[in-house]
């Protein structure tokens, strides 16, 4: 079962991705609404990190970038493949 756990604040999103109760990835989107926003995705299984610095205007854009990094890293094909999110 693929689960994405989110902790959303006013200008950040922290997340962990679980696949069958095993943490496979974690990360954060920080400085949402600022020009120097940052997204970090860490593959917990091999310690590989994926980062992007760009302007993220809102939480929806932040999650869209997280989805792109999941695809790019090969950790998850698409957020639509999740069994649950919360």
Judged by phi (left if over 0) then psi (alpha if -120 to 50, else beta), residue 10 lies in alpha
Give all domains of the chain, ordered by start, each with its CATH number. 2-85 (3.30.420.40)
Give yes or no for residue 79 having a pLDDT over 90.
Answer: no
Give yes or no for residue 56 having a pLDDT over 90.
Answer: yes
pLDDT-based confidence at residue 62 (cuts at 50, 70, 90): very high
| CB burial of residue 62 (10 Å; 0-12, 13-18, 19+) | buried
List, in sequence order, every beta strand (DSSP E) within the chain: 2-8, 12-19, 22-30, 37-43, 48-54, 84-85
The answer to whether the Cα torsion of 28, 3, 76, 60 is positive or negative is negative
- When pLDDT is averaged across residues 76-81 and rounded to a whole number, the result is 88
pLDDT at 3: 98
Q: Which helix (H) or strand (E) holds 27?
A: strand 22-30
Token pair 């090969």: residue: 74
């Amino acid at each position: 079962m693929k689960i994405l756990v989110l902790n959303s604040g006013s200008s950040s999103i922290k997340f962990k991705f679980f696949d069958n109760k095993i943490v496979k990835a974690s990360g954060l989107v920080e400085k949402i609404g600022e020009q120097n926003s940052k997204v970090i995705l860490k593959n917990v299984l091999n310690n590989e990190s994926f980062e992007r610095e760009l302007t993220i205007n809102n939480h929806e854009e932040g999650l869209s970038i997280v989805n792109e990094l999941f695809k790019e890293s090969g950790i998850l094909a698409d957020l639509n493949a999740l069994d649950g999110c919360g």
